[in-house]
């Protein structure tokens, strides 16, 4: 299993849904939000999800967004997905047999979910080049402003 690296965001091929994720949280309190969205080949948003989290580590929070995105797309009946992220270490954990103790149980879930799709891949796109990551980050920024709390968008 491999992953691809892109300098800019691409729309997925026809009949493949692309999942983009992001996390914003306070490292002092561990409180924050995760968001993910799925778009189709013409950038039409198929679904969006945002939820509270209580995690102290960025890797754990990002892993939860991967699992939530895959779980939701699986429950929606989507068969072919690409999970695109700006968190390269997590993409590597999902595509290779790299064990990270604090997220190993989440990675096992992600790998199991991956096998429930006809096609499922992982790509890394730098934040600067990811149009969808900017949309997800903007959603989290609006949540942050509406709640008046100090959250950091993870890069």
pLDDT along the chain (155 residues), means of 10: 44 72 75 77 71 78 89 90 87 81 89 93 77 64 58 42
Alpha helices in the chain (DSSP H): 58-75, 88-95, 104-114, 131-147
pLDDT for residue 14:
60
pLDDT for residue 119:
92
């Amino acid at each position: 299993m491999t992953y691809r690296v892109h300098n800019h965001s691409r729309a997925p091929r026809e009949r493949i849904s692309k999942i983009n994720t992001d996390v914003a949280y306070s490292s002092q309190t561990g409180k924050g939000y995760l968001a993910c969205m799925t778009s189709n080949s013409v950038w039409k948003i198929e679904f969006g999800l945002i939820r509270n989290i209580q995690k102290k580590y960025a890797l754990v929070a990002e892993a939860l967004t991967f699992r939530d995105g895959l779980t939701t797309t699986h429950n929606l009946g989507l068969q072919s997905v690409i999970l695109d992220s700006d968190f390269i270490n997590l993409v590597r954990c999902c595509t290779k047999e790299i064990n990270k103790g604090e997220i190993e149980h989440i990675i096992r879930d992600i790998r199991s979910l991956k096998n429930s799709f006809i096609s499922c891949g992982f790509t890394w796109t730098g934040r600067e080049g990811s149009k969808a990551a900017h949309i997800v980050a903007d959603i989290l920024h609006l949540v942050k402003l509406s709640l008046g709390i100090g959250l950091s968008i993870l890069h």
